[in-house]
Amino acid sequence: MKAVPPVRRCNSAARQLNLSAALLGLSVLTDAGVEHYRGSFQNRAMYFPLASAALTLAASLFGISDPRSKRHGLRDAVYTLATATGLAGLGFHAYNISKRPGGLSWLNLFYAAPIGAPAALVLAGLLGRGAERIRERDVAGAATVLGAPADRLLAAVSAAGLAGTVGEAGLLHFRGAFHNPAMLLPVSMPPVAAALLGRAALAPRARVRWLTRAWLKITALLGLAGVGFHTYGVSRNMGGWRNWSQNVLNGPPLPAPPSFTALAIAGLAALSLLEEAAND
């Protein structure tokens, strides 16, 4: 079998990371758009994540189509903005929960601003910046982020993102009392992918990469299947899709499950880089 040149493999991994950032940006744009519209944009700051997510989506689509092995300054700036906006959003959402009667309680975690939602924008920014660093690696040698190897750090970020997404899904599915057995899937399968990917980041030469790759692919498919389950969930609300303008607001949120797909794709890209480093 003909070996894939390192430069081509790095560029392919970078474009996979751009795809991951694009899916996360689209998820934030649509989900925050629905939720902030439901909140009547009472705080003008609620427009910022929509603008940042739209820019992230545009920059990521540009990155997917860009075959050059070169870091792009404008894309990097957009991803930095996404990270900063997401971190600010975490602060706003935490404040929204804390100011309600009862503070940090199950009721407020269920129905206040979702504490984990802005984290998707943070992840989009981090993974997008990782894509730019990987492109830079093609021409500048081994890429590092904060002094750590970029491949291991990207694997760790993807694993942590999967774990956080599982927590958010678990919270909302617990609110729904797991009335459909399929609601157990996003809290049982992705944690295994996160654990395997985390192990790959800590022990990149371990010989279980085939299992990690297979489980990440299953997780990516699970995210796509989740859209179908949530579409069915919306149809079960009163009036079904004929009353879509109300029922889409009531949920379950259609843009949420693809976050698993996005993070699994990022994990696959990181795994490819880890495999390349292990074979050097």
- What is the rounded distance in angstroms from the CA atom of residue 223 to the CA atom of residue 260? 5
Q: Residue-wise over 179-211: b if at least 16 C-beta within 10 A, else e?
A: eeeebebbbebbbbbbebbbbbbeebeeeebee
Q: Give residue-wise pLDDT tens across range 111-147.
A: 888 878 889 999 999 999 999 888 876 444 456 665 6
Token pair in block for residue 244: 């879509």
Give the CA radius of gyration of the chain. Answer: 19
pLDDT at 6 over 60: no
- What is the rounded distance in angstroms from the CA atom of residue 273 to the CA atom of residue 152? 8
pLDDT of residue 2: 46
- pLDDT cut 90: percent of the chain above it: 46
Q: Name 148's bridge partners.
A: 145
pLDDT of residue 143: 60
pLDDT at 99 over 50: yes
- pLDDT cut 70: percent of the chain above it: 89
Among candidates 227, 214, 225, 223, which has minimal Cα distance to 263? 223
8 A C-beta contact, residue 257 and residue 223 = yes
Tally the C-alpha atoms within 13 A of residue 43's C-alpha that lie toward its C-beta. 12
Q: Give residue-wise pLDDT tens across range 177-198.
A: 898 899 999 999 999 999 999 8
pLDDT of residue 24: 95
pLDDT mean over 241-263: 88
What does pTM read for this prediction?
0.89
